[in-house]
Structure 1
Amino acid sequence: MQNLMPIFIETLFGFLALFILTKVLGKTQIIQLTAFDFIAALVLGELVGNAIFDDKAGIIEIAFAVLVAGIVLYLTEIITQKYKGTRSLLEGQPSIIIHKGKLIREEMKKNKLDINQLQHLLRSKDVFSISEVEYAILETDGTVSVMKKSIHQTTTKQDFNIAPKTIRLPITLINDGEVLWDNLKEVNLSEGWLEQELTKQEFHSVKEVFYAEWNEGKGELFVLPFTEKET
Protein backbone atom coordinates (compact mmCIF):
# COMPACT_ATOMS: atom_id res chain seq x y z
CA MET A 1 0.00 0.00 0.00
CA GLN A 2 2.90 2.34 0.73
CA ASN A 3 4.21 1.92 -2.85
CA LEU A 4 0.92 3.06 -4.36
CA MET A 5 1.15 6.71 -3.34
CA PRO A 6 4.56 7.34 -5.02
CA ILE A 7 3.30 5.65 -8.20
CA PHE A 8 0.15 7.79 -8.08
CA ILE A 9 2.14 11.01 -7.64
CA GLU A 10 4.66 10.12 -10.36
CA THR A 11 1.91 9.09 -12.80
CA LEU A 12 0.03 12.32 -12.18
CA PHE A 13 3.20 14.35 -12.59
CA GLY A 14 4.15 12.48 -15.78
CA PHE A 15 0.71 13.09 -17.25
CA LEU A 16 0.80 16.81 -16.42
CA ALA A 17 4.36 17.14 -17.78
CA LEU A 18 3.43 15.49 -21.09
CA PHE A 19 0.26 17.60 -21.30
CA ILE A 20 2.21 20.83 -20.79
CA LEU A 21 4.84 19.72 -23.30
CA THR A 22 2.13 18.98 -25.85
CA LYS A 23 0.63 22.43 -25.37
CA VAL A 24 4.02 24.13 -25.67
CA LEU A 25 4.82 22.29 -28.91
CA GLY A 26 1.35 22.99 -30.30
CA LYS A 27 0.45 19.35 -30.96
CA THR A 28 -3.21 19.68 -30.08
CA GLN A 29 -4.76 17.33 -32.65
CA ILE A 30 -3.76 13.67 -32.83
CA ILE A 31 -4.95 13.40 -36.44
CA GLN A 32 -2.27 15.90 -37.49
CA LEU A 33 0.61 13.81 -36.15
CA THR A 34 3.32 12.97 -38.67
CA ALA A 35 5.32 9.74 -38.52
CA PHE A 36 8.08 11.55 -36.58
CA ASP A 37 5.58 12.95 -34.07
CA PHE A 38 4.04 9.51 -33.59
CA ILE A 39 7.42 7.95 -32.84
CA ALA A 40 8.26 10.80 -30.47
CA ALA A 41 4.96 10.28 -28.62
CA LEU A 42 5.74 6.57 -28.19
CA VAL A 43 9.23 7.36 -26.88
CA LEU A 44 7.86 9.91 -24.41
CA GLY A 45 5.25 7.48 -23.15
CA GLU A 46 7.87 4.75 -22.75
CA LEU A 47 10.24 7.05 -20.85
CA VAL A 48 7.55 8.17 -18.42
CA GLY A 49 6.20 4.63 -18.03
CA ASN A 50 9.61 3.17 -17.23
CA ALA A 51 10.41 5.98 -14.82
CA ILE A 52 7.16 5.47 -12.91
CA PHE A 53 7.85 1.79 -12.22
CA ASP A 54 11.57 2.18 -11.62
CA ASP A 55 12.26 2.28 -7.89
CA LYS A 56 15.38 4.36 -8.46
CA ALA A 57 13.59 6.97 -10.56
CA GLY A 58 11.59 9.80 -9.03
CA ILE A 59 9.93 13.01 -10.11
CA ILE A 60 13.26 14.62 -10.92
CA GLU A 61 14.22 11.79 -13.29
CA ILE A 62 10.80 11.89 -14.98
CA ALA A 63 11.04 15.65 -15.39
CA PHE A 64 14.53 15.34 -16.89
CA ALA A 65 13.39 12.67 -19.38
CA VAL A 66 10.42 14.78 -20.49
CA LEU A 67 12.60 17.89 -20.71
CA VAL A 68 15.21 16.20 -22.93
CA ALA A 69 12.51 14.76 -25.22
CA GLY A 70 10.81 18.15 -25.34
CA ILE A 71 14.04 19.91 -26.33
CA VAL A 72 14.64 17.38 -29.11
CA LEU A 73 11.11 17.86 -30.45
CA TYR A 74 11.38 21.65 -30.18
CA LEU A 75 14.70 21.70 -32.04
CA THR A 76 13.22 19.44 -34.70
CA GLU A 77 10.35 21.90 -35.22
CA ILE A 78 12.83 24.78 -35.58
CA ILE A 79 14.96 22.80 -38.05
CA THR A 80 11.98 21.89 -40.24
CA GLN A 81 10.79 25.50 -40.27
CA LYS A 82 14.21 26.97 -41.05
CA TYR A 83 15.55 24.33 -43.45
CA LYS A 84 12.92 23.27 -45.99
CA GLY A 85 15.04 20.39 -47.23
CA THR A 86 14.62 18.52 -43.94
CA ARG A 87 10.81 18.53 -44.04
CA SER A 88 10.42 15.59 -46.40
CA LEU A 89 12.76 13.51 -44.23
CA LEU A 90 11.30 14.36 -40.82
CA GLU A 91 7.68 15.13 -41.69
CA GLY A 92 7.21 13.29 -44.98
CA GLN A 93 5.54 14.79 -48.04
CA PRO A 94 2.11 14.45 -49.66
CA SER A 95 1.70 11.93 -52.49
CA ILE A 96 -0.68 12.23 -55.44
CA ILE A 97 -2.39 8.84 -55.66
CA ILE A 98 -5.11 9.77 -58.18
CA HIS A 99 -4.18 12.11 -61.04
CA LYS A 100 -6.78 13.19 -63.59
CA GLY A 101 -8.97 10.26 -62.59
CA LYS A 102 -6.20 7.67 -62.90
CA LEU A 103 -4.70 5.69 -60.03
CA ILE A 104 -0.97 6.15 -59.59
CA ARG A 105 -0.05 2.61 -58.54
CA GLU A 106 3.62 3.45 -57.99
CA GLU A 107 2.70 5.99 -55.32
CA MET A 108 0.25 3.55 -53.73
CA LYS A 109 2.95 0.88 -53.51
CA LYS A 110 5.47 3.38 -52.13
CA ASN A 111 3.04 4.34 -49.36
CA LYS A 112 1.91 0.73 -48.70
CA LEU A 113 -1.66 1.64 -49.68
CA ASP A 114 -4.02 -0.90 -51.26
CA ILE A 115 -7.40 -0.43 -52.93
CA ASN A 116 -9.41 -1.34 -49.83
CA GLN A 117 -7.55 1.21 -47.70
CA LEU A 118 -7.99 3.85 -50.40
CA GLN A 119 -11.73 3.17 -50.59
CA HIS A 120 -11.97 3.55 -46.81
CA LEU A 121 -10.14 6.89 -46.92
CA LEU A 122 -12.34 8.14 -49.77
CA ARG A 123 -15.53 7.13 -47.94
CA SER A 124 -14.39 9.24 -45.00
CA LYS A 125 -14.55 12.16 -47.46
CA ASP A 126 -18.07 11.18 -48.62
CA VAL A 127 -16.72 9.75 -51.88
CA PHE A 128 -18.11 6.28 -52.57
CA SER A 129 -16.73 5.71 -56.04
CA ILE A 130 -13.19 6.13 -57.35
CA SER A 131 -14.73 7.16 -60.67
CA GLU A 132 -15.89 10.44 -59.06
CA VAL A 133 -12.35 11.54 -58.19
CA GLU A 134 -10.22 13.83 -60.34
CA TYR A 135 -7.37 14.21 -57.84
CA ALA A 136 -6.60 12.55 -54.51
CA ILE A 137 -3.61 13.41 -52.33
CA LEU A 138 -2.36 11.24 -49.48
CA GLU A 139 -1.31 13.70 -46.77
CA THR A 140 1.57 13.24 -44.34
CA ASP A 141 -0.85 12.51 -41.47
CA GLY A 142 -2.41 9.58 -43.37
CA THR A 143 -5.62 11.33 -44.45
CA VAL A 144 -6.69 11.92 -48.05
CA SER A 145 -7.61 15.23 -49.67
CA VAL A 146 -10.02 14.83 -52.58
CA MET A 147 -11.03 16.96 -55.56
CA LYS A 148 -14.04 15.52 -57.35
CA LYS A 149 -14.62 15.66 -61.07
CA SER A 150 -16.61 18.75 -62.04
CA ILE A 151 -19.68 16.72 -62.91
CA HIS A 152 -19.85 15.44 -59.33
CA GLN A 153 -19.40 18.78 -57.61
CA THR A 154 -21.78 20.90 -55.65
CA THR A 155 -25.10 21.47 -57.44
CA THR A 156 -28.01 19.73 -55.72
CA LYS A 157 -31.16 18.31 -57.23
CA GLN A 158 -33.17 20.48 -54.88
CA ASP A 159 -31.86 23.55 -56.71
CA PHE A 160 -33.60 22.33 -59.86
CA ASN A 161 -36.67 20.83 -58.12
CA ILE A 162 -35.70 17.35 -59.33
CA ALA A 163 -37.13 14.39 -57.44
CA PRO A 164 -34.38 12.45 -55.63
CA LYS A 165 -33.52 8.93 -56.81
CA THR A 166 -32.56 5.89 -54.78
CA ILE A 167 -28.83 5.91 -54.05
CA ARG A 168 -26.91 2.66 -54.43
CA LEU A 169 -23.32 2.02 -53.40
CA PRO A 170 -20.85 1.09 -56.15
CA ILE A 171 -19.80 -2.55 -55.84
CA THR A 172 -16.22 -3.69 -56.41
CA LEU A 173 -16.22 -6.58 -58.89
CA ILE A 174 -12.49 -6.91 -59.66
CA ASN A 175 -9.63 -6.14 -57.32
CA ASP A 176 -6.00 -6.56 -58.39
CA GLY A 177 -6.84 -8.87 -61.30
CA GLU A 178 -9.20 -11.14 -59.33
CA VAL A 179 -12.99 -11.35 -59.61
CA LEU A 180 -14.89 -10.92 -56.32
CA TRP A 181 -17.48 -13.60 -56.94
CA ASP A 182 -19.55 -12.84 -53.84
CA ASN A 183 -19.98 -9.22 -54.94
CA LEU A 184 -20.85 -10.31 -58.48
CA LYS A 185 -23.52 -12.63 -57.09
CA GLU A 186 -24.83 -9.95 -54.74
CA VAL A 187 -25.75 -7.65 -57.64
CA ASN A 188 -27.22 -10.55 -59.64
CA LEU A 189 -24.64 -10.39 -62.43
CA SER A 190 -22.99 -13.31 -64.21
CA GLU A 191 -19.47 -14.13 -65.28
CA GLY A 192 -20.62 -13.99 -68.91
CA TRP A 193 -21.97 -10.46 -68.41
CA LEU A 194 -18.69 -9.35 -66.83
CA GLU A 195 -16.62 -10.79 -69.69
CA GLN A 196 -18.91 -9.09 -72.21
CA GLU A 197 -18.57 -5.71 -70.48
CA LEU A 198 -14.80 -6.04 -70.32
CA THR A 199 -14.69 -6.91 -74.03
CA LYS A 200 -16.66 -3.73 -74.78
CA GLN A 201 -13.88 -1.78 -73.07
CA GLU A 202 -11.21 -3.73 -75.00
CA PHE A 203 -10.06 -5.97 -72.16
CA HIS A 204 -9.39 -9.55 -73.19
CA SER A 205 -8.81 -10.99 -69.72
CA VAL A 206 -9.65 -10.24 -66.10
CA LYS A 207 -5.90 -10.35 -65.44
CA GLU A 208 -5.56 -7.08 -67.39
CA VAL A 209 -7.85 -5.29 -64.92
CA PHE A 210 -6.45 -3.71 -61.80
CA TYR A 211 -9.82 -2.53 -60.47
CA ALA A 212 -13.45 -2.58 -61.62
CA GLU A 213 -16.65 -1.46 -59.93
CA TRP A 214 -20.31 -1.69 -60.93
CA ASN A 215 -22.42 1.41 -60.42
CA GLU A 216 -26.03 0.30 -60.62
CA GLY A 217 -27.32 3.86 -60.41
CA LYS A 218 -25.42 4.85 -63.55
CA GLY A 219 -25.70 1.42 -65.14
CA GLU A 220 -22.00 1.33 -65.98
CA LEU A 221 -18.87 -0.65 -65.22
CA PHE A 222 -15.89 1.52 -64.27
CA VAL A 223 -12.58 -0.19 -65.12
CA LEU A 224 -8.94 0.67 -64.42
CA PRO A 225 -6.15 -1.33 -66.12
CA PHE A 226 -2.87 -2.43 -64.61
CA THR A 227 -1.11 -0.25 -67.18
CA GLU A 228 -2.52 2.51 -69.30
CA LYS A 229 -3.56 1.34 -72.76
CA GLU A 230 -1.76 2.91 -75.68
CA THR A 231 -3.85 5.25 -77.76
Structure 2
Amino acid sequence: MNDYLSIVTELLIGFVFLFIVIKFLGKTQFSQVTPFEFISAIILGELVGNAIYDEEVKIGHIMLAIFTWGAIIFVVEMLTQKFKRTRKLLEGEPNIVIHQGQIKYDALKKAKIDINTLQSLIRQQGYFSIQEVEYGIIESNGKASVLPKSEYDTPKNSDLKVPYKPVNLPITLILDGEVVFDNLKEVGFDEKWLKDQLAMQSITNYKEVLYAEWLVSKPLYVVKYEKRSS
Protein backbone atom coordinates (compact mmCIF):
# COMPACT_ATOMS: atom_id res chain seq x y z
CA MET A 1 0.00 0.00 0.00
CA ASN A 2 2.85 2.35 0.86
CA ASP A 3 4.36 1.76 -2.59
CA TYR A 4 1.14 2.81 -4.30
CA LEU A 5 0.80 5.87 -2.08
CA SER A 6 4.42 6.79 -2.80
CA ILE A 7 3.84 6.60 -6.57
CA VAL A 8 0.71 8.76 -6.35
CA THR A 9 2.51 11.31 -4.16
CA GLU A 10 5.52 11.53 -6.47
CA LEU A 11 3.28 11.84 -9.52
CA LEU A 12 1.36 14.72 -7.97
CA ILE A 13 4.51 16.51 -6.85
CA GLY A 14 6.18 15.92 -10.22
CA PHE A 15 3.13 17.28 -12.02
CA VAL A 16 3.01 20.41 -9.88
CA PHE A 17 6.68 21.24 -10.35
CA LEU A 18 6.65 20.44 -14.07
CA PHE A 19 3.60 22.66 -14.48
CA ILE A 20 5.32 25.51 -12.64
CA VAL A 21 8.42 25.18 -14.83
CA ILE A 22 6.36 25.06 -18.05
CA LYS A 23 4.31 28.11 -17.03
CA PHE A 24 7.50 29.97 -16.19
CA LEU A 25 9.20 29.10 -19.48
CA GLY A 26 6.17 30.00 -21.59
CA LYS A 27 4.12 28.38 -24.32
CA THR A 28 7.03 27.37 -26.53
CA GLN A 29 7.38 24.10 -24.64
CA PHE A 30 4.07 22.81 -25.99
CA SER A 31 3.24 24.82 -29.09
CA GLN A 32 6.20 25.43 -31.41
CA VAL A 33 8.53 22.54 -30.69
CA THR A 34 12.10 23.12 -31.79
CA PRO A 35 14.71 20.34 -31.52
CA PHE A 36 16.06 21.72 -28.25
CA GLU A 37 12.56 22.06 -26.77
CA PHE A 38 11.71 18.51 -27.85
CA ILE A 39 14.78 17.22 -26.03
CA SER A 40 13.95 19.26 -22.95
CA ALA A 41 10.40 17.91 -22.86
CA ILE A 42 11.68 14.33 -23.01
CA ILE A 43 14.22 14.91 -20.28
CA LEU A 44 11.71 16.59 -17.97
CA GLY A 45 9.37 13.62 -18.46
CA GLU A 46 12.19 11.15 -17.82
CA LEU A 47 13.19 12.91 -14.62
CA VAL A 48 9.74 12.36 -13.14
CA GLY A 49 9.28 8.90 -14.69
CA ASN A 50 12.52 7.54 -13.29
CA ALA A 51 11.81 9.07 -9.91
CA ILE A 52 8.48 7.24 -9.66
CA TYR A 53 9.95 3.76 -10.07
CA ASP A 54 13.37 4.28 -8.51
CA GLU A 55 13.07 3.91 -4.76
CA GLU A 56 16.46 5.51 -4.18
CA VAL A 57 15.36 8.78 -5.77
CA LYS A 58 13.82 11.12 -3.21
CA ILE A 59 11.38 13.98 -3.68
CA GLY A 60 14.19 16.47 -3.08
CA HIS A 61 16.11 14.90 -5.97
CA ILE A 62 13.11 15.35 -8.27
CA MET A 63 12.73 19.01 -7.32
CA LEU A 64 16.44 19.72 -7.76
CA ALA A 65 16.60 17.96 -11.14
CA ILE A 66 13.50 19.70 -12.51
CA PHE A 67 14.55 23.16 -11.41
CA THR A 68 18.12 22.62 -12.62
CA TRP A 69 16.93 21.57 -16.06
CA GLY A 70 14.40 24.40 -16.04
CA ALA A 71 17.21 26.86 -15.31
CA ILE A 72 19.22 25.45 -18.22
CA ILE A 73 16.27 25.90 -20.58
CA PHE A 74 15.73 29.45 -19.30
CA VAL A 75 19.37 30.36 -19.89
CA VAL A 76 19.25 28.90 -23.39
CA GLU A 77 16.07 30.87 -24.18
CA MET A 78 17.74 34.07 -22.96
CA LEU A 79 20.79 33.34 -25.12
CA THR A 80 18.68 32.87 -28.24
CA GLN A 81 16.87 36.14 -27.56
CA LYS A 82 20.00 38.22 -27.00
CA PHE A 83 22.49 36.56 -29.37
CA LYS A 84 21.25 35.93 -32.88
CA ARG A 85 24.11 33.58 -33.74
CA THR A 86 22.92 31.04 -31.18
CA ARG A 87 19.43 30.76 -32.71
CA LYS A 88 20.55 28.75 -35.71
CA LEU A 89 22.34 26.24 -33.49
CA LEU A 90 19.71 25.85 -30.78
CA GLU A 91 16.44 26.56 -32.60
CA GLY A 92 17.30 25.66 -36.16
CA GLU A 93 16.39 27.68 -39.22
CA PRO A 94 13.70 27.59 -41.91
CA ASN A 95 14.47 25.74 -45.15
CA ILE A 96 13.01 26.87 -48.47
CA VAL A 97 12.24 23.53 -50.11
CA ILE A 98 10.12 24.89 -52.98
CA HIS A 99 11.33 28.03 -54.74
CA GLN A 100 9.31 29.56 -57.58
CA GLY A 101 7.54 26.24 -58.06
CA GLN A 102 10.75 24.22 -58.20
CA ILE A 103 11.66 21.62 -55.58
CA LYS A 104 15.06 22.25 -53.99
CA TYR A 105 16.47 18.78 -53.34
CA ASP A 106 19.46 20.10 -51.41
CA ALA A 107 17.12 21.91 -49.04
CA LEU A 108 14.99 18.77 -48.67
CA LYS A 109 18.10 16.79 -47.81
CA LYS A 110 19.18 19.44 -45.33
CA ALA A 111 15.76 19.36 -43.67
CA LYS A 112 15.96 15.53 -43.70
CA ILE A 113 12.57 14.98 -45.32
CA ASP A 114 11.58 13.09 -48.46
CA ILE A 115 9.02 13.84 -51.16
CA ASN A 116 6.28 11.83 -49.45
CA THR A 117 6.73 13.82 -46.25
CA LEU A 118 6.75 17.07 -48.21
CA GLN A 119 3.49 16.12 -49.91
CA SER A 120 1.94 15.31 -46.54
CA LEU A 121 3.01 18.65 -45.07
CA ILE A 122 1.64 20.51 -48.07
CA ARG A 123 -1.70 18.67 -47.86
CA GLN A 124 -1.98 19.72 -44.24
CA GLN A 125 -1.96 23.31 -45.50
CA GLY A 126 -4.82 22.60 -47.88
CA TYR A 127 -2.90 22.07 -51.13
CA PHE A 128 -3.02 18.61 -52.68
CA SER A 129 -0.40 19.02 -55.38
CA ILE A 130 3.15 20.36 -55.36
CA GLN A 131 2.25 22.04 -58.66
CA GLU A 132 -0.03 24.43 -56.72
CA VAL A 133 2.85 25.75 -54.61
CA GLU A 134 5.06 28.71 -55.51
CA TYR A 135 7.06 28.72 -52.29
CA GLY A 136 7.26 26.09 -49.57
CA ILE A 137 9.18 26.54 -46.33
CA ILE A 138 9.91 23.97 -43.65
CA GLU A 139 9.95 25.92 -40.40
CA SER A 140 12.30 25.18 -37.51
CA ASN A 141 9.45 23.44 -35.66
CA GLY A 142 8.94 20.99 -38.54
CA LYS A 143 5.75 22.53 -39.90
CA ALA A 144 5.30 23.75 -43.45
CA SER A 145 4.42 27.25 -44.57
CA VAL A 146 3.03 27.46 -48.09
CA LEU A 147 2.63 30.37 -50.50
CA PRO A 148 0.50 29.10 -53.41
CA LYS A 149 0.71 30.11 -57.02
CA SER A 150 -1.63 32.97 -57.85
CA GLU A 151 -4.10 30.79 -59.77
CA TYR A 152 -4.52 28.55 -56.72
CA ASP A 153 -4.65 31.27 -54.08
CA THR A 154 -7.89 31.97 -52.23
CA PRO A 155 -9.29 35.37 -53.25
CA LYS A 156 -9.69 37.93 -50.48
CA ASN A 157 -12.58 40.34 -50.04
CA SER A 158 -10.27 43.17 -51.07
CA ASP A 159 -9.53 41.33 -54.33
CA LEU A 160 -13.24 40.97 -55.05
CA LYS A 161 -14.00 44.57 -54.02
CA VAL A 162 -16.43 43.34 -51.37
CA PRO A 163 -17.52 46.18 -49.03
CA TYR A 164 -16.00 46.12 -45.56
CA LYS A 165 -18.06 44.51 -42.83
CA PRO A 166 -17.11 44.67 -39.15
CA VAL A 167 -16.15 41.37 -37.53
CA ASN A 168 -17.71 40.69 -34.13
CA LEU A 169 -16.89 38.07 -31.54
CA PRO A 170 -19.73 35.78 -30.36
CA ILE A 171 -20.22 35.91 -26.59
CA THR A 172 -21.29 32.91 -24.50
CA LEU A 173 -24.07 33.90 -22.09
CA ILE A 174 -25.24 30.50 -20.83
CA LEU A 175 -23.13 27.39 -20.50
CA ASP A 176 -24.37 24.07 -19.11
CA GLY A 177 -27.48 25.66 -17.63
CA GLU A 178 -25.62 28.47 -15.85
CA VAL A 179 -25.48 32.15 -16.76
CA VAL A 180 -22.03 33.61 -17.43
CA PHE A 181 -22.74 36.93 -15.67
CA ASP A 182 -19.35 38.48 -16.51
CA ASN A 183 -20.05 38.05 -20.23
CA LEU A 184 -23.61 39.32 -19.81
CA LYS A 185 -22.28 42.46 -18.14
CA GLU A 186 -19.60 42.88 -20.81
CA VAL A 187 -22.15 43.04 -23.64
CA GLY A 188 -24.21 45.61 -21.70
CA PHE A 189 -27.31 43.58 -20.87
CA ASP A 190 -28.90 42.54 -17.61
CA GLU A 191 -30.58 39.34 -16.43
CA LYS A 192 -34.06 40.69 -17.24
CA TRP A 193 -33.06 41.10 -20.89
CA LEU A 194 -31.73 37.55 -20.93
CA LYS A 195 -34.91 36.14 -19.42
CA ASP A 196 -36.98 38.06 -21.97
CA GLN A 197 -34.90 36.63 -24.79
CA LEU A 198 -35.36 33.11 -23.47
CA ALA A 199 -39.09 33.65 -22.97
CA MET A 200 -39.37 34.49 -26.66
CA GLN A 201 -38.19 30.94 -27.29
CA SER A 202 -40.55 29.44 -24.67
CA ILE A 203 -37.74 28.86 -22.16
CA THR A 204 -38.46 29.66 -18.52
CA ASN A 205 -35.47 28.10 -16.77
CA TYR A 206 -31.74 28.40 -17.37
CA LYS A 207 -31.40 24.70 -16.63
CA GLU A 208 -33.15 23.98 -19.93
CA VAL A 209 -30.30 25.60 -21.84
CA LEU A 210 -27.13 23.77 -22.80
CA TYR A 211 -25.59 26.74 -24.58
CA ALA A 212 -26.62 30.31 -25.42
CA GLU A 213 -24.59 32.68 -27.58
CA TRP A 214 -25.04 36.35 -28.42
CA LEU A 215 -23.76 38.03 -31.56
CA VAL A 216 -24.27 41.61 -32.70
CA SER A 217 -27.31 42.12 -34.96
CA LYS A 218 -28.50 38.53 -34.49
CA PRO A 219 -31.09 36.97 -32.19
CA LEU A 220 -29.89 35.02 -29.18
CA TYR A 221 -28.73 31.59 -30.31
CA VAL A 222 -29.92 28.92 -27.89
CA VAL A 223 -29.23 25.19 -27.75
CA LYS A 224 -31.55 23.36 -25.37
CA TYR A 225 -30.82 20.11 -23.62
CA GLU A 226 -32.23 17.17 -25.53
CA LYS A 227 -35.23 15.62 -23.90
CA ARG A 228 -34.46 12.09 -22.87
CA SER A 229 -36.95 9.54 -24.05
CA SER A 230 -38.48 7.51 -21.21
- Judge which range, 73-82 or 51-60, deviates more: 51-60
What does residue 224 of structure 2 align with? none
Relative distance call for 1:29 and 1:89 in structure 2 (3 A) is closer
State the distance in 1 between where 2:112 and 2:56 align: 43
Uncovered stretches (5+) of structure 2, i.e. residues with no partner: 161-230
What does residue 7 of structure 1 align with? 7
Q: CA deviation at 1:58?
A: 2.0
Q: What is the one-letter code of the residue matched to 1:99?
A: H
State the distance in 1 between where 2:29 and 2:50 align: 25
Contact residue 136 and residue 146 of structure 2 kept, 8 A? yes
What does residue 114 of structure 1 align with? 114
State the distance in 1 between where 2:71 and 2:31 align: 22
Q: CA deviation at 1:74?
A: 0.3
Contact residue 48 and residue 65 of structure 1 kept, 8 A? no
State the distance in 1 between where 2:66 and 2:40 align: 11
What TM-score do you get using the length of structure 1 for normalisation?
0.65
Q: What is the one-letter code of the residue matched to 2:5?
A: M
State the distance in 2 between where 1:23 and 1:140 align: 22
What does residue 166 of structure 1 align with? none
Q: Percent identity among equivalent residues?
A: 49
What does residue 142 of structure 1 align with? 142
What does residue 53 of structure 2 align with? 53
Contact residue 36 and residue 91 of structure 2 kept, 8 A? yes
> 3-state DSSP class of the match of 2:98?
strand
Q: What is the one-letter code of the residue matched to 1:21?
A: V
- Judge which range, 92-101 or 38-47, deviates more: 38-47
What TM-score do you get using the length of structure 2 for normalisation?
0.65
Q: What is the one-letter code of the residue matched to 2:108?
A: M
Q: What is the one-letter code of the residue matched to 2:2?
A: Q
Q: What is the one-letter code of the residue matched to 1:102?
A: Q
Contact residue 137 and residue 144 of structure 1 kept, 8 A? yes
State the distance in 2 between where 1:75 and 1:124 align: 34
Aligned length: 158
What does residue 18 of structure 2 align with? 18
State the distance in 2 between where 1:58 and 1:8 align: 14
Contact residue 96 and residue 137 of structure 1 kept, 8 A? yes
> 3-state DSSP class of the match of 1:3?
helix
Contact residue 132 and residue 152 of structure 1 kept, 8 A? yes
- Judge which range, 25-34 or 59-68, deviates more: 25-34
State the distance in 1 between where 2:52 and 2:69 align: 16
State the distance in 2 between where 1:76 and 1:60 align: 24
Contact residue 27 and residue 33 of structure 1 kept, 8 A? no
Q: CA deviation at 1:48?
A: 1.4
Relative distance call for 1:51 and 1:16 in structure 2 (3 A) is same
State the distance in 2 between where 1:93 and 1:70 align: 23
Q: What is the one-letter code of the residue matched to 2:38?
A: F
What does residue 210 of structure 2 align with? none
What does residue 98 of structure 2 align with? 98
Uncovered stretches (5+) of structure 1, i.e. residues with no partner: 161-231
Q: Give CA deviations for 1:120-167 in whole Å, capped at 9, x if unaligned.
A: 0001000011111110100011100000111111239xx99xxxxxxx
Q: CA deviation at 1:56?
A: 2.1
> 3-state DSSP class of the match of 1:32?
coil
Q: CA deviation at 1:30?
A: 2.9
Relative distance call for 1:121 and 1:25 in structure 2 (3 A) is same
Contact residue 31 and residue 141 of structure 1 kept, 8 A? no
Q: Which runs of 4+ in 1 moved over 6 A?
A: none
What does residue 133 of structure 1 align with? 133
Q: What is the one-letter code of the residue matched to 1:33?
A: V
